[in-house]
Structure 1
Amino acid sequence: MQKPDIPHNEKERLKELRRLNILDSEQEKDFDELVELASIICGVPISLVTLVDVDRQWFKSKKGLDVESTPRDVSFCGHAINDDEIFVIENTVADKRFFDNPLVTDDPNIRFYAGMPIKSENGFNLGTLCVIDTKPKKLSELQLNALKILSGQASKLIELRDKKNELQSKNEKLESLNDLNNRITSIISHDLKGPINSLRAYINSKYIDSDSPKDLAQLFPLVKSNLNSLNELVENLLEWSRSTNDVNFTEVKIKDLVFEVCYLFEGNALEKNNEIKCGVGDNVKVIADAAMLRFIMRNLINNALKFTENGEVNVEIEKLENKVKIKVIDSGVGISENLLERIKLKDKKVSTKGTRNEKGTGLGLQLIREFLSIHKSELHIESEENKGSIFSFELPLASDN
């Protein structure tokens, strides 16, 4: 038995196959109708739309077979994808390449095979539209031409399917961003007004004498607190605006990004006698939008420092099978059971004061969840009062890890 050769562009071909996200997908009527038509035109009991994977040929659609796939090294389609023309074996038992093939000597007892490559829009042979018989056979020129046309239709169906998925993904993203925009607008109208109205009330109060140093000294901490709240809110909103306008998934070296963010908060940590530890030793890469990931880490570390004093904030990663778990762990005041339940209600905005009465807007946590949702991930929170908290999430590993 002769095993099929590996195409010269195999790495790129497989990458294209993965990009199309069609392997192991659900049965689809359009593909089923193609194999039915191929079977009728060619007068054969078996017809297939196959996709050749690393070590298997998987059947997107099938007629006359019950199995979902067969090994690639015994496949006829593995041979067919090495050329752009139709691949025909009129009598397998008379062909030295296939006479002892398990698919010939055993079920489904192939005696005739004809397969035309299915080509992606980028020019890669993904698999075939093939017809099979249990007895030797010769197709007419008309039948061969029809098989080529049907293979072209299979290529177009895959292309249309890809475009449909892209459009659906974009629509889902637009809906998500529109929903987020509506919620952010609501937050702005409420949270921006609060500190501004508070400042206006303080400054215009008849109890405040602008010529009195004592009154102004009492006013200063209140002004500072409200301005800090406004600054945090505006920074979060600007980051949201920059990040969600153009989502760009790339390979991100998590170690570099974490150290960059930790460095930003060294001064904040020293001010509260905290130590930031970034236990990220491996050069692990994840697939993420770098701007969003930077925002997530910045807010989680800032939040940990807000509720920790004379303690530690640790950033750790745990490499799983196909993902990386990123954890921000603090030794701070922790979260009461009641408050934790409120925080876990994703549609609720919860703002609490830090160890030095630092105010928050509650917007950061909402945006973290939104950004993780775009990454098809979610935030997990573990906490115990007076012992600290762990905030964690997972991201997919880059392929070269």
Structure 2
Amino acid sequence: MKKPEIPHNENERLIELRRLNILDSEQEKDFDDLVELASIICGVPISLVTLVDADRQWFKSKKGVEIDSSPRDISFCGHAINYDDVMVIENTVADKRFFDNPLVTEDPNIRFYAGMPIKSENGFNLGTLCVIDTQPKKLTELQITALKVLGGQASKLIELRDKKNELEIKNEKLESLNQLNTRITSIISHDLKGPINSLRAYMNSNYIDANNPKDLAQLFPLVKNNLNSLNELVENLLEWSNSSNDVNFENIKVKELIFEVCNLFVGNALEKNIDLKCGYLHEDKILADLSMLRFIMRNLINNAIKFTENGEVIVETEKTDDHQIIIKVTDTGVGISKELLERIKLKDKKVSTKGTRNEKGTGLGLQLIREFLSIHKTDLEIESVENEGSTFSFSLPVA
């Protein structure tokens, strides 16, 4: 028996196969109709749409067999993908490549095989549309032509399936962004007006004498807090605006990004006597949208500093067995009460509390973090003990 040769472009071919996300997918009628038609036209009991993986051939659609896959090193289709035309073996026992192949000497006792390569849009042979018989056989020219046409249709179906998946993903992203836009518009209408109205009330108050230093001294902290709140809100909205124009997933060096964001808060941490540590960080790349991930990290670190005084804020990563990177931001701050934690976990609720130095928050950051993480198919985990500290974490796939 001769094992199939490995195509010269095998690595690129396998990347293409995985990109199409078709391996181990559900049964689809369009492919089933193809194998049924191939079986009828060629007059054979077995027909398959096969995809040749690294060490197996997997059957996207099948007629006449029960198994879903078989080893690549004994497969006929492993040979056929090295051709650009139909590969025909009229009598397997008379062919030195296959006469002692287990698929010939044992079930399903192949005696005849013909396979037309299924080519991807980028020109890679992914597998075959093949027909099989338990008796030696010779196809007519018309049957061979029909097999070529059906193989081409299998290629077209895979292309259409890929385009459909891409469109569904884009529609899902668009729907998520539309929902996000609606929620943010609602938040803006309330939160942007709040600090402004508060400032106007202070300024127009009959109880404030602009010529009285004591009145001005009382007014200053209130104005400062409201301006800080407005600044935080505007920054969050600008970040949201930049991120919501499009979602661009790319490979990101998580260690570099965390160092970049941590450096933005060194001064804030020193001012509150906080030891800001970028703990153990993995070198792996993760798959994420850079703008959204930067926003998430900025807000989590900023919040950890806001609710901590004379303590630590630690940013670290953990790699799981299922190829995920968990990013954690832990502080030794005031923590969160059970009651407040329950409110925070109600994702449709916006919660705002003051920091250790009465820093005002808008509650917008946490909502946006959750929205951005939902686009990444993940969620924010929160662990906290009042007066001891909190840990905020989320996971993203290794690229």
TM-score w.r.t. structure 2 length?
Answer: 0.98
**Gap regions ≥5 residues in structure 2:** none
Aligned to 1:182: 182
1:115 maps to what in 2? 115
Matches within 5 A, 1:273-352: 273-321=273-321, 322-352=323-353
After superposition, give the CA deviation of every residue in 1:248-290 in whole Å (9 maximum; x if it has no partner): 2111111111111111111111111111111134322111111
AA of the residue aligned to 2:69: S
Structure-1 residue corresponding to 2:22: 22
Q: Give 1:324 shift.
A: 0.7
In the alignment, structure 1 residue 214 sits paired with structure 2 residue 224: no
Maintained 8 Å contact 2:48/2:61 = yes
The corresponding residue for 2:365 is 364
Alignment of 1:204-283 (within 5 A): 204-283=204-283
Structure 1 residue 377: Cα displacement: 1.2
> Take 1:63 and 1:86, find their aligned partners in 2: how far apart are those partners?
19
Mapped to 2, the partners of 1:368 and 1:50 lie a distance apart of 43
Partner of 1:378: 379
What's 1:79 paired with?
Answer: 79
Structure 1 stretches of 4+ with a deviation exceeding 4 A read none
| 8 Å contact kept, 1:262–1:278 | yes
Q: Deviations over 1:166-207 (max 9, x none)?
A: 111111111111110000000000000100000000001111
Equivalent in the alignment of 1:128: 128
* Helix, strand or coil at the partner of 1:346: coil
Q: Distance in 2 between matches of 1:370 and 1:17?
A: 31
2:65 corresponds to 1:65: yes
Amino acid at match of 2:50: T
Single out whichever of 278-287 and 227-236 deviates more from structure 2: 278-287
SS at match of 2:116: strand
**Contact 1:255/1:280, CA 8 A, preserved across alignment:** no
Partner amino acid, structure 2, of 1:14: L
How many angstroms apart in 2 are the aligned matches of 1:390 and 1:57? 46
Partner of 2:142: 142
Question: 1:45 aligns to what?
Answer: 45
CA distance in 2: counterparts of 1:360 and 1:329, whole angstroms: 19
In 2: Cα distance, 1:348 partner to 1:282 partner: 34
Query: What SS does structure 1 have at the residue aligned with 2:374?
Result: helix
Secondary structure of residue in 2 paired with 1:356: coil
- Distance in 2, Cα, partners of 1:332 & 1:355: 9
- Cα distance in structure 2, aligned partners of 1:345 and 1:161: 38
State the SS of the aligned residue for 2:93: helix
Unpaired runs of 5+ residues, structure 1, are none
How many pairs are equivalent? 398
Q: Distance in 2 between matches of 1:14 and 1:145?
A: 28
Q: Secondary structure at the match of 2:130?
A: strand
SS in 2 for 1:182: helix
Assess if the C-alpha contact under 8 Å between 2:113 and 2:133 holds in 1.
yes
For residue 178 of structure 1, what is the amino acid of its counterpart?
A: N
Aligned sequence identity (%): 81
Matched, 1:395 2:384: no
Which residue identity is paired with 1:67?
I
Q: Verify the 8 A CA contact 1:86 1:116 in the aligned structure 2.
A: yes
What displacement does 1:294 show?
A: 0.9
Task: State how far apart, in whole Å, the 1-side matches of 2:351 and 2:77 are.
Answer: 58
Shift of 1:246: 2.1
The code of the aligned residue for 1:275 comes to D
Contact 1:51–1:60 (Cα < 8 Å) also in 2: yes
- How far 1:331 sits from its partner (Å)? 1.1
Three-state SS of the structure 2 residue aligned to 1:201 is: helix
Per-residue CA distance 1:46-75 (angstroms, 9 max, x = gap):
000011111111111000111111111111
Q: Distance in 2 between matches of 1:21 and 1:120?
A: 13
Contact 2:229–2:361, Cα closer than 8 Å, also in 1: yes
CA contact (8 A) 2:247 2:289 kept: yes
Q: Partners of 2:234 and 2:158 in 1: how far apart?
A: 45
Partner of 1:171 in structure 2? 171
Q: Report if aligned partners of 2:281, 2:316 keep a CA contact under 8 Å in 1.
A: no
TM-score by length of 1: 0.98
Query: Amino acid of the residue matched to residue 185 of structure 2?
Result: T
Return the letter of the residue paired with 2:170: K
Distance 1:348 1:127 in 2: 51
The residue that corresponds to 2:354 in the other structure is 353
Paired residue secondary structure (1:390): strand
Q: Which residue of 1 aligns with 2:194?
A: 194
Give deviations 1:66-91, integer Å, cap 9, x for gaps: 11111111111111111111111111
Shift of 1:211: 2.1
Amino acid at match of 2:97: R
Partner of 1:32: 32
Cα RMSD for the two superposed structures: 0.9
1:209-245 deviation digits (Å, cap 9, x = unpaired): 1222221221111111001011101100110110121
Partner of 2:104: helix, strand, or coil? helix
- Partners of 2:96 and 2:355 lie apart in 1 by 78
CA distance in 2, matches of 1:15, 1:216: 67
- Whole-Å Cα distance in 2 between the matches of residues 317 and 181 of structure 1? 31
**Aligned equivalents of 1:380, 1:23: Cα separation in 2:** 32
Distance across 2 between alignment mates of 1:185 and 1:161: 36
